[in-house]
Amino acid sequence: MHSDAIVIGAGPAGLATSRELKVRGVAHVVLERGAVAESWSRLYDSLTLHTGKHMSHLPGMRFPRGTPLFLSRDTFLEYLHAYRAKFELPIVTGIEVKSVTREGDVWRVDDRTARALVVASGIISNPQIPRIPGAESFRGVMRHSITYRRPDEVRGKRVLVVGAGNSAGEIASELGREGIDTTVAIRSGANVVPLAILGVPIQYIAFMMRKLPRAAREVLVGAMRLVSPPPVIPRSKQSPLDAIPLIGFRLVHAIREGKVKLRGDIESFTPAGARFNDGREESFDEVLLATGFRASMPFLGELVTRDARGFANRRDRVVSTDQPNLYFVGHNYDSTGGLTNIRQDAPRAAAYVKRNAASTQ
């Protein structure tokens, strides 16, 4: 089976890329290991997007009138399924891509071949587990936060949430407000920014700031701190311009109100809990590692080189620097949000595929 392009992954990046290929008349197929948007369906129940709806839609289809500014997980999932149906995207589910090969000037994925390959497999399916001394001795439950769904799972337990990202902040504050004995361990601080300023989502502001000189953006970041509550979490040494910040003050308020306890770096785990870098040792029943994700593309093996975060090295945002006719969508993350970057990158990748397909005819 031969086509102009094969897309791997049917999450937001794969759906957007498929739509852009279709409107350009590029014959293609999307291969998905599970169901459409399955990774999103496995995220915690209370998840709400930080990007406002105007920066969260995919190309060609805005959210229906009356959609809340910040979408819930379930609302976003309904949108993704409606998107697939509206554009009648050629998705084949139940196909796990374990390896891809180059055969001359074409890509082979099992019994399928194509001139171009678009990797849109995202990051959610590749959670990262840090190596912390003593982890193997801990007698309680230790798991990545990707497996967390709702507070009832840990009710009555002493919970340690590890991480300084948005998942850590949201899960820890949710547990604390449910009356669950919750501690959050933050190794090296965090940059905390408001969810919105005067009703404008912070990521809209980040998007508008992106073309300003660095010095001007740093001044604006400093001004944002004036509308933030006094810090209770040590500030990260990195600028908010260089790393995705902790968005919103839910965790800050939960710590200040005594609903969540704040600790620093973990020196080691113990059979009963954890020892922190200040020498304090505490007992926990469960540890949730909200320690992030890395790019999920094991099927590429040694075909590409990777940057420090595990993403393939690219030029012009989407083009592989290692292989011809290889593109990536959903692999750019910054303060404007992953979905905003997908909306920018999907048309870019599709345009490259279209030009290359036309040049071979």
The CA–CA distances, whole Å, from 213 to 210, 243, 335 equal 8, 17, 16
Phi first, then psi: give them for residue 52, nearest 5 degrees.
-65, 165
Q: Architecture of 135-289 per CATH?
A: 3-Layer(bba) Sandwich (3.50)
CATH number of 2-126+293-359: 3.50.50.60
Q: What is the pLDDT of residue 309?
A: 81
Interval 176-215: pLDDT, tens: 999 999 999 999 889 898 898 888 998 898 888 888 898 9
Looking at residue 43, its pLDDT comes to: 93
The tally of CA atoms less than 13 A away on the side-chain side of residue 45 is: 7
pLDDT < 70 positions in the chain = 359-361
Check residue 361 and give its pLDDT: 57
pLDDT of residue 159: 98
Determine the pLDDT at residue 359.
67
- The strand pair at 112-119 and 2-8 is best described as parallel
Q: How far apart are the first and last CA of the chain?
A: 18
Same CATH fold assignment for domains 2-126+293-359 and 135-289: yes
- For 123, counting Cβ atoms within 10 Å of its Cβ (0-12 exposed, 13-18 middle, 19+ buried), the class is buried
Annotated domain spans of the chain: 2-126+293-359, 135-289
pLDDT at 333: 86
pLDDT digits (tens, 9 = 90+) for 55-72: 999 999 999 999 999 999
The values of phi and psi at residue 97, to 5°, are -85, 115
